[in-house]
A and B are shown apart, each in its own frame.
Chain A
Amino acid sequence: MKPYRTIVKDGLWDNNMVAGQLLAMCPAMAVTATATNGLGMGLATTVVLVASNVLVASIRQLVPSAVRIPIFIVLIATLVTLVDMALNAWLHDLYKVLGLFIALIVVNCGILGRAESFASKSPIAASAVDGLAMGLGFTLSLVAIGSVRELLGSGSLFSQAHLLLGPAFAFLEMKFFDGGALLMILPPGGFIVLGLLLAGKRIWEARRAERRRNLEVSASAA
């Protein structure tokens, strides 16, 4: 089994859901017009992801591999619907902010991806850690895309954060200039920023690999 350190690093960076696995593109494109929306979607997904990973890991020995996909889909859809109803009933104000995102989580293939490629083969605790790390990595990517789009598109950062996180977080809301490039807020902006994010991650990793190789060369030379 992978050590926890690797699981966390995988989720946050190496195998990041958006920037590494290229999964969950639909929610990543749809809601990231602002950084706050990215944060909301990311956090809601994290909660569902941890719960679904734990659930799948705990029944993994009972599930026959031939029908595992339909079983996982039913479990995830049920879980999301339960979260949706519970929030709507008991945390209605939060639901009004997050409701849009929760319905979108059902179509998030990243969650099925984790159930299939990790939780169905791993113990419960490791699956929970994987869900948490993957969820936070997803949140990170969404906030990054959302920040760039919001900054270039409307000249602000984390606008409406107080609606999501409560009035105490109003200090996050920043306004730099009025107007901005409309294109960034519209869907094409999402694709452009995602492309730049992917390219940036590749360049960074290539540079780092090269630096390591140079170090090794100089070390062996010395």
Chain B
Amino acid sequence: MSEPLSLERLRPTIPYQAAALAVTVMTASLALSFAEGFTRGPIEHAIAEDTRRSLAEVLPTGSFDNDPGTDRLEARDGDIPVVVHIARQAGVPSAVVLETSTRGYSGEIGLVVGIDREGKVTGVRVTRHSETPGLGDKIEVAKSDWVHHFVGRHLADPDPARWAVRKDGGVFDQFAGATITPRAVVGAVKRSLELYAREHERWFARREAS
């Protein structure tokens, strides 16, 4: 009976309260740093796997035999950082995938754009966004087939002035109730094609990353 009694007397004292707080915070920090150590590897692995999967989705199957996930270089499109992944067939570049981003209606939209050697779009996927559910989220391939309309397009098809949503005189559909989101995505795809046209020779001149 002496144990709970002494705890009863200890609890209201300032040193006990300070110690209780300190022990809690220390235990929490320890637990978090251990857990971080355990999970860092698996999380990095899972994210790399995600990237690899989305890269494979925007490239025609069988058009490459390297790992575009690791064959990468960094570029800039104005002030937007772009990661360039190069797909190769027997060491020869066959296509690129640009990981880029744009500003949507509510925050950043991340997307990957696959472009083949002729400068034609092979696929577009939105990798992250926070657009309005039910309106702007039709840019997700799980919710609408809208992104498939980019496949096969290039800078001359449609001609540059019509690379826009219908509301702006272009050829791409906007969504009922949402124009800003599809406008942002169309713009980002067009900018990716322009970046490719400007820079691909420099990218392809680089030796394959080992």
In chain A, residues 120-169, which have Cβ atoms closer than 8 Å to a Cβ of chain B?
150, 153-154, 160, 163
Q: Quick check: A75 and B24 within 8 Å, CB to CB?
A: yes
Q: Tell me whether A86 and B11 are in contact in the complex, defined as CB-CB below 8 angstroms, given that A67-B17, A71-B21, A92-B46 are known contacts.
A: no
A81 at the interface (CB under 8 A from B): yes
Residues of A within 8 A of B16 (CB): 64
Nearest-neighbor residue (CB-CB) of A91 within chain B: B46
Known: A67-B20, A74-B28, A85-B36. A163 touches B134 (CB 8 A): no
In chain A, positions 56-100 with a C-beta closer than 8 Å to chain B are 61-67, 70-71, 74-75, 77-78, 81-82, 85-86, 88-90, 92, 96
Which residues does chain A contribute within 8 Å of B92, judged by CB atoms? none
Task: Looking at the assembled complex, report how far the CB atom of B132 sits from the nearest CB atom of chain A, in whole angstroms.
Answer: 7
Main secondary structure of the interface of B (DSSP, over half): helix
- The range of chain A's interface size is 20 to 34
Which residues of B lie under 8 Å from residue A77 when comparing CB positions? Answer: 28
Query: What chain A residues lie within 8 Å of B46 (beta carbons)?
Result: 88-89, 92
- Contact present for B134 and A71 (CB under 8 Å): no
- B-contacting residues of A (Cβ < 8 Å)? 33-34, 37, 61-67, 70-71, 74-75, 77-78, 81-82, 85-86, 88-90, 92, 96, 150, 153-154, 160, 163, 179, 182, 185-186
**Leading 8 A-B pairs by shortest Cβ distance:** A89-B42, A89-B39, A92-B46, A78-B28, A33-B133, A85-B39, A185-B134, A154-B134
